[in-house]
Amino acid sequence: MSNEHQRLKVVDAFDLDDELRALLRPGEMVRDAQGRRHRLPRYFYEIATHDDAMSLPLTPHFGMNEFILVDLKEAQRLQTFPRYIPCAVRVLAFYLEQFRAAAGASVHVQVNGGYRSPAHKLSLDATPHMWGTAADVYRIGTNILKTKESIERYNDVAEDLSEDVTVLPYGHVTGKNADDHVHIDLGYITVIPREISEDRMEMPQENRPRFAFEDRRRRERRAAVQAGSTESE
């Protein structure tokens, strides 16, 4: 194993602080757009610094930094280091490497096109982006993907890789189509790293606030509402 791979620290998200757990929601069940339930990932790579993100290769042509690029749509706490990304991102990087070889050119993941936490403003329903197993590719080589012809061409390349890969057809309906990128989707894959022992069975509680952080936020909102009601009287 290379030194770079040894530097990847695996964490059980149940061991993170209350705020991070409330944002990452490890092990919780969420519904996709079709109403199917999926359990959010529990095991993450911890990326300590920006320099680490830039220097950690997952495959010969894809580094960790490409999958954690986000803008202000992501929760503020998750924009700062250390950063956390589900361990299944390695599977995504492997398929993108195969896609790059089949396309015959470099492949560029757009901002917000890799991992999105459950707290991300685009995470309305469960999508594989929340598992680290989907990527939105906006450019291949010098070709910016904005035309029906180019998107359908590379959709075909992606689907030819494996039956595990799905794409969004060209179109203009958000969540169902794509008109400015190729969406490469591996589904809801959860990776349990070999260094993890699964004898710890901690799971989220149903139908009640999971974390003290959430309790505090709810108390603050209730207090603000009560204060507003008092002022209006």
pLDDT of residue 110: 95
Phi-psi region of 27 (alpha: psi -120 to 50; beta: other; left: phi over 0): left
Whether the CB-CB separation of 124 and 85 falls below 8 Å is answered with: no
Question: What are the backbone angles phi and psi of residue 69, rounded to the nearest 5°?
Answer: -75, 120
pLDDT tens-place string over residues 7-34: 689 999 999 999 999 999 999 999 999 9
Q: How far is CA 225 from the centre of its chain?
A: 34
Whether the CB-CB separation of 89 and 67 falls below 8 Å is answered with: yes
Structure tokens at 108: 């560029």
Pairing status of strand 62-63 against strand 37-39: unpaired
pLDDT of residue 3: 43
Q: E strand or H helix at 219, and its extent?
A: helix 212-232
pLDDT tens-place string over residues 146-192: 999 999 999 999 999 999 999 999 999 988 999 999 999 999 999 99
Q: Output the pTM of the full model.
A: 0.84
pLDDT tens-place string over residues 91-143: 999 999 999 999 999 999 999 999 999 999 999 999 999 999 999 999 999 99
